[in-house]
Structure 1
Amino acid sequence: MTPRRTRYAAVTAVALSVLFAAGAVTVASADRDEAPPVPGTASADAGFARDMSVHHQQAVEMSFIVRDRTRDEEVRRLAYDIANTQANQRGMMLGWLDMWGLPKVQSGTAPMTWMDMPVTGDSAPKDGALMPGMATNAQLDALRKASGKEAEVLYLKLMTAHHRGGVHMAQGCVERCAVPLQRDLAQGMVDAQESEIALMADMLRKRGATA
């Protein structure tokens, strides 16, 4: 290639790179213009992220407990999957709260307020069960003391109730949340946990029990 053609090719490459860069900036600017507003601290998005993070944390705790209380590979595998999935989802929700500049704990606000069904007064579950489906402290203590088949059955029963409460909350976000990514995550929770509820029903039947 002659020096003239070499210079022409170089100039052309630079021009194209500038055009591509300009196009990328334009697209990025358009994306920012179309982005939804940051949710407020009393929004469904913030309430769901806070409440479901607490709900998920207990599922992770129960799953780690049962992995130490049984050698059954089927139950241990399920517990590992639930702990892994819900720990990751919890991290995402807490990360969103950080990104939105919102507190992870809303003092003075009862759980489920964002769903217009605050858990307060006589309707509030007792003994550490902060939201529907959550296990009580006594039930967690019983799981820690159980072993073998007894631990498996108790875990499957507690996690089934936990998932049902989680599905109810996630459906509330699907209906109320404004951030598309959060709605998508909530719908994924509904689908996955309903599937796991069916799986746990089969596992309970194998052990001569029901949810």
Structure 2
Amino acid sequence: MTAAEQSRPGTATRALVAAVAVLAVLLLGAAVGLLIRLPGSDNASVPAKDSVDVGFSQDMAVHHVQGITMANTARDKTTNQAIRQLAFDIESTQLEQVGRMKGWLTLWGMPEQSPDGTHMKWMATASHHSAGTTSSAGKAGLMPGMASSEELARLRSLSGTEFDVYFLQLMLRHHQGGAPMAEYAATHAGQNVVRTLADNMLKSQSSESEYMKQLLTERGAAPLQ
């Protein structure tokens, strides 16, 4: 074994470093979330357990975790610099946002996930949501845009251009599926910080979605139907 090989970090070391980095980002996001109680930062009232604020924070955190998982896979497997950078941007942004939402839930004394395992009930009770979200509101299972376990397994099995295309297709669908939730929360959440975060998500993911469509076109591929 050469000196370079002996000095190269092993898989376990890289995994530990990655885990520490993830924890640091989550703690930072949680700390930012806790700042809503500082004077002048936002309304200090605690939203109800069935509010848009709580439901959005719970569901979007779950939704984001899958996006982070796919982005992390892409960072490890792709050989394309543009896709690696996109995956890094998605992973780092959504990690911070998950930490922020979990910080709010902790501050409000709410569970990190819906206790009964259903999603989007916070959208089902009002008449303002779009028809596209009605069928998914208040149901258990995958939220719109989320990949199945079979699709994730297929993604991990691919390489090269096939991997890049399938990653872009899954992540584009993931962004599009989460957009109605962000749009609804940006309009109907009671906490200003929640509305602002949801609006920022909608804007950044809309931009990323257009970019992913462009990358798919360059590869002679189309979004998933």
TM-score under structure 1 normalisation? 0.78
- The count of aligned residue pairs is 176
Q: What's the CA shift string for 1:68-102, capped at 9, x where partnerless?
A: 22211110100010000001000000000011111
Judged with a 3 Å threshold, the aligned counterparts in structure 2 of structure 1 residues 52 and 29 are, in CA distance, closer, same or farther, namely: closer
Per the alignment, in what secondary structure is the counterpart of residue 96 of structure 1? Answer: helix
| Of 105, 112, 120, the match for 1:104 | 112
Deviations 1:180-202 (A, max 9, x none): 01100000000000000100011
Superimposed CA distance per residue, residues 22-42 of structure 1 (whole angstroms, 9 cap, x where no aligned partner): xxxxxx99849x835211111
Q: CA deviation at 1:105?
A: 2.1
Please say if residues 119 and 131 of structure 1, whose CA atoms lie closer than 8 Å, have aligned partners that are also in contact. no
Residue in 2 aligned with 1:201?
213
Change (3 A) 1:166 1:29: closer
Alpha-carbon spacing, 1:177–1:202, altered in 2? closer, same or farther (3 Å): same
Q: Is the Cα contact below 8 Å between 1:66 and 1:143 reproduced in 2?
A: no
Judge conservation of contact 2:43–2:192 (CA < 8 Å) in 1: no
Residue matched to 2:131? none
- Unaligned runs of 5+ residues in structure 2 are 1-36, 125-133
Question: Which of 182, 186, 195 does residue 170 from structure 1 map onto?
Answer: 182
Residue in 1 that maps onto 2:191: 179
One-letter amino acid of the structure 2 residue matched with residue 150 of structure 1: E
Q: Contact (CA 8 Å) 2:57, 2:105: kept in 1 or not?
A: yes
Code of the residue aligned with 1:165 in structure 2: it is G
Instruction: Name the structure 1 match of 2:76.
Output: 68
- Look up the SS of the partner of 1:108 in the other structure: coil
Which amino acid letter does the alignment assign opposite residue 88 of structure 1? E
Question: Which position in structure 2 is the counterpart of 1:138?
Answer: 150
- Residue of structure 2 aligned with 1:84, choices 79, 92, 104: 92
In 2, the alpha carbon distance for the partners of 1:113 and 1:200 equals: 30
In 2, Cα distance between the equivalents of 1:29 and 1:153? 45
Identity in percent: 40
Structure 1 stretches lacking a partner, 5+ long: 1-27
The amino acid that maps onto 1:50 is Q
Q: Give the CA RMSD over aligned residues.
A: 2.0
Cα distance, 1:182–1:30 mapped onto 2, change above 3 Å: closer
1:46 corresponds to which of 50, 54, 67: 54
Work out whether 1:149 is the aligned partner of 2:161: yes
What secondary structure, in the 3-state scheme, does the structure 1 residue paired with 2:119 have?
A: coil
